[in-house]
Amino acid sequence: MNNTFTQFENFGHSLKAPSYCLHPTTSGEIHEIFHLAKKTGLTVNARGGGRSYNDAALNGGGILLDMSAMNQFLEWDPASGRVRCEPGVTLEQLWKKVLPDGWWPPVASGTMFTTLGGCLAANIHGKNNFRMGPIGEHVVEFTALLPTGAEVACSPKKNGDLYYSMISGLGMLGIFTSITMQMKKMHSGLLEVHAWPTRTLKDHLTSLEDGAPHYDYIVGWLDTINTIGHGQIHAANYLHEGEDPEAQKTIRLSYQHLPDRLFGVMPKSLLHYFLTPFANNPGWGLVNQAKYIASLRRSVFRESHAAFHFLLDYVPLWELSYGRGGLIQHQSFLPKETALHAWTEMLALAKKQGLPSYLGVTKRHRPDKFLLTHAVDGFSLALDFKVTDGNRARLHRLLQEYDRIVLANGGRFYFAKNSETSPETARTFLGEETIAKFRKLKKRCDPNGLLESDLFRRVFGG
């Protein structure tokens, strides 16, 4: 094997790890790579879009499979909305394929650059998790290659234990080779969006809870620098048949563009350079304040699916504006009974330490049956933090405290985001039983321990 050693990073550019990068195009090639790994004593991890904020898609010193070459559609039935594709197909490819025929992915993350394999491995949630659950609940069937060489087909009824564990299994039980999903019928390329401000955290969470039953999607943004509670809720509904007089037009891809210029002036591709001087406490303080003021009026408007969903893709390469140290995200999921108390404490602590988060995003959730799931009957709060040489140690202590507060309040974590979760924390919220089950499946699917990632070694001890 040649030394094409490549430096890979997490999405937030705050962590890097070099790996031997290989690009399989068939499951036969993946099979050969498992053989190679066994022969050379190296471990293997798959990497899709690399959108995880932590080390889920990294494998320092080992082999990394760039799955982007396995990005073909295998079957698409525009009548039933059923699609079967390779794991390297991105959400972008998916919605662009299905929307012109009047369908939309039932669950979509805030960025469209994730691959379906990655989406399943993390078991992504969207702004409709409270209603539609995670993406796993819309996977009809998948096939996967296990490190033992076995090819398995899994659905809720067939190989159910593998189905419920490989989805959310962080790529540690096998590599997906094909994924079959059921899309959701759309009657318009638009959503009807309701937006309104919130003044307090209680107000904000109540809005999410009370609003959710009335909407198909709901998401909140919180100003976590200037205040604790100022924020905005965006809730959206599908349009029913007949409600969009221009449905034929809005469903076209050309209608689904993300805003091209910010404020109609600044070309988006240059934007991240201009964000950099603002990537500090006063700068983001200003941005958050401006956003809050702009949102003070309740409004109702129609917006394309792409514009509503893919907020993270609005500003290309925005993650580069965070500077040399990059950014990390702390996302916590809390039951609705304890969320207010826990987050009030956490946000106050950040303010006191002078380590505010630059972006706070809230969602409403419900539980699901997948093995390493993160969702609860409650809410999530995602907090972005800039990392600098100066703040590392303090930020580390702050996040340890955050984890303690979340656990004390019955919370959970999502393995595609948090980078500092310790094995003890994982053991606490997952429970010994879940971990034992996972380890047993791991032993069965991967007896030689060929599949490993930096995340797996960090959280599960490898």
Contacting positions for other proteins (CB under 8 A): 3-7, 10, 12, 14-15, 17-18, 38-43, 54-55, 60-62, 325-326, 328, 387, 392-393, 395-396, 399, 419-420, 454, 457-458, 461-462
CB 385 to other proteins: min, Å: 9
**Which of 55/92 has CB closer to other proteins?**
55
Read off φ and ψ for residue 358, nearest 5 degrees: -85, -20
CB 374 to other proteins: min, Å: 19
Q: Are 108 and 126 in contact (CB under 8 A)?
A: yes
Q: Select from 172, 222, 457 the least CA-distant residue to 359.
A: 222
Q: Select from 7, 8, 15 the least CA-distant residue to 328.
A: 15
CB 384 to other proteins: min, Å: 12
Q: Select from 252, 215, 251 the least CA-distant residue to 233.
A: 215
**Which of 392/444 has CB closer to other proteins?**
392
Strand locations in 102-210, DSSP E? 103-104, 139-145, 151-154, 175-182, 184-185, 190-198
**Which of 99/405 has CB closer to other proteins?**
405
Residues 6+ apart with CB under 8 A from 32: none
**Which of 182/391 has CB closer to other proteins?**
391
- In this structure, the strands spanning 63-66 and 16-22 are parallel
CB 221 to other proteins: min, Å: 24
CB 364 to other proteins: min, Å: 28
Q: Are 119 and 103 in contact (CB under 8 A)?
A: no
State the Cα–Cα distance between residues 412 and 171, nearest whole angstrom.
20
State the Cα–Cα distance between residues 96 and 312, nearest whole angstrom.
17
DSSP one-letter string for 316-339: TTGGGGG-TT-EEEEEEEEETTTH
**Which of 60/87 has CB closer to other proteins?**
60
**Which of 40/248 has CB closer to other proteins?**
40
CB 405 to other proteins: min, Å: 17
CB 423 to other proteins: min, Å: 10
CB 437 to other proteins: min, Å: 23
Which token pair is 146? 């296990």
Q: Are 313 and 90 in contact (CB under 8 A)?
A: no
**Which of 8/142 has CB closer to other proteins?**
8
**Which of 298/397 has CB closer to other proteins?**
397
